[in-house]
Amino acid sequence: YLAIARSIKDRLGEGTALGNLGAAYRSVGDYAKAIEYAQQYLAIARSIKNRLGEGTALGYLGGAY
């Protein structure tokens, strides 16, 4: 999904995919990867002014830390 979102320049979908990847990494205990993906999600959410996504990304970061 991430590759498709990037190929069609769907920033909202890209952010969502990154957030989901981060959540998956967190669930298996790879917190460094979870943080990396959540930070990417946060950057995209902020760049497209997606306040809901920004909040979600911050929540993912808090959970990973």
- The domain that holds 38 is classified in CATH as 1.25.40
pLDDT of 24 reads 97
Question: Which residues does the chain have with pLDDT short of 70?
Answer: none
Three state DSSP letters for the chain: CHHHHHHCCCHHHHHHHHHHHHHHHHHCCCHHHHHHHHHHHHHHHHHCCCHHHHHHHHHHHHHHC
Side chain identity, residue 1: Y
Domain with 18 in it: 2-64
Domain count of the fold of the chain? 1
Q: Please tell me the distance from the alpha carbon of residue 8 to that of residue 43, in angstroms, as a whole number.
A: 19
Note the pTM of the prediction, 2 decimals. 0.94
